[in-house]
Structure 1
Amino acid sequence: MTPTGVLEPTGPNRALNGTGWLDRLLSTPVVTPVERSRPLRDIDGYEHRPNPLHARTAAGFLLTMRRYVVWAGDWSYRELEYLCGGAVKHTTFRQVLEGDRLPRYVFLMAFVTACAGEDEAERRRWVAAWQRLRLTAD
Structure 2
Amino acid sequence: MSPTNILEPTGPNIALGRTTWLDSVLSTPSATVERRLPVQALVGYEQRPNPLDAENPAEFLLTMRRYLVWAGDWSYLELEYLCGGAVKSSTFQQALEGTELPRYVFLMAFVTACAGTDDGERRRWVTAWQRLRSAGY
Q: Same fold (TM over 0.5)?
A: yes
Structure 1 letter corresponding to 2:119: E
Gap runs ≥5 in structure 1: 1-14
SS at match of 1:47: helix
Identify the residue that residue 75 of structure 1 maps to in structure 2.
Answer: 74
Structure 1 letter corresponding to 2:36: S
**Contact residue 62 and residue 97 of structure 1 kept, 8 A:** yes
Structure 2 letter corresponding to 1:31: S
| Higher gyration radius (CA) | 1
| Deviation digits for residues 21-56 of structure 1 (CA, Å, limit 9, x no counterpart) | 38x921331324552124355537x73200000000
Identify the residue that residue 25 of structure 1 maps to in structure 2.
Answer: 13
For the residues of structure 2 that align with 1:48 and 1:62, how far apart are their CA atoms?
17
SS at match of 1:31: helix
Provide the alpha-carbon RMSD of the alignment.
2.4
Cα displacement (A) at 1:137:
1.7
Q: How many residues align?
A: 119
Identify the residue that residue 103 of structure 1 maps to in structure 2.
Answer: 102
For the residues of structure 2 that align with 1:38 and 1:71, how far apart are their CA atoms?
10
* TM-score normalised by structure 1 residue count: 0.77
Cα displacement (A) at 1:127:
0.2
**Contact residue 37 and residue 115 of structure 2 kept, 8 A:** no
Gap runs ≥5 in structure 2: 7-11
> Which consecutive segments of 4 or more residues in structure 1 shift more than 6 A?
none
* TM-score normalised by structure 2 residue count: 0.77
